[in-house]
Structure 1
Amino acid sequence: MNTVSTRAASPVTLPCPIIILGRDDKRKPHASFFPATDTRPAEKAAELMGMVALKVESDEVRSFLARLPQGKLFDSGKAFVPFVKQDLYNEIAAHLSNEDRERLEQPRAAPDTQPAEVSHPVRPNHMPDSFDKIVVGSLVLATEGRLEGWYEAKVLEVKADGSLRLQWRDYLDNPAFSRRVDQVAIIHPSYTEA
């Protein structure tokens, strides 16, 4: 009999999973989910990265979880939020407030915030056009698994056995890792990120 009055007097709100989504500097869509145990740090990571956190509070939003990769939190306070297809990104963004949607569509940095004479390359210039031209400093594509996307990685070392020591280009908080040459892809030489 006391349990009924206790429930009515103090409703319990449990943490729920969240989805972080946003665009990178090149306007590519990113989204991933974080479990309920990571809700607070994931919300802080989204804010730090200029992205938006969407609470998974409805069945419709919950249905996206099976279609999204799980994100990873870093000690720096940021998070690994992989690329997703534009259509999926748009479906999720439809559940955001108008204000959050507009904020995500704004450029992350004004192009003229730096003097014109200052140039800061965001990636190595060397993109080999064949596997035998991969050297230290080359930019290649790598993946974490069959069901994961392919992301840019910088070659830190070419080992004697032909394997490569790599570092994710956009996720410097992740540790370096190794892949065989036949486990990476080369980027088409005409590709630019201007």
Structure 2
Amino acid sequence: MIMPRGTSQLLLPANPWFIGASLFLALLMNMVPVGRWPGLPDFLAITLVFWNVHQPRRVGVGWAFVFGLLMDVHQGALLGQHALAYSLLAFGAVALHRRLLWFTLGAQALHVLPLFVLAHVVAMVVRVMVGGMWPGWASLVAPLAEALLWPLAALLLLAPQRRAPDPDAHRPL
């Protein structure tokens, strides 16, 4: 098998418990009451896109929809606003997942930036259509922050898969 250029070593299979724990932790990070700053990144969106790219059979559009409903209930938003945005985000990530892994982390961040912009624009359009307040153009800073956090998220979420299954002094892998 030809290895993609962005990866330098073989990875172990992802642990389903780690995937679930990382998604739950990202959900909790989104629920922390820090106020609504316009450029605050959506940690759940970053984590969903990451696992949709790296494990599309385990984390798909259905999980994105469920987490979107949880965010809608938590924020008191229109039921389905975040669910629609996260579902579109997950669909785009699954559609790009084979191509995206061939690039370096910086190039991957540039490729997922339009997905994050689309998700935020869809959420804003839905909010405005039902009579909500316009959040302002400053809220489009969040997709940039999410794209800048992509390499850090990739390093953190792939770290458990990089360890050797049973380390040995005589084996380089």
More strand by share: 1
More helix by share: 2
Taking structure 1 as the reference length, the TM-score comes to 0.24
Taking structure 2 as the reference length, the TM-score comes to 0.26
Q: Which one has the largest radius of gyration?
A: 1
Higher relative contact order (CA 8 A, sep 6+): 2
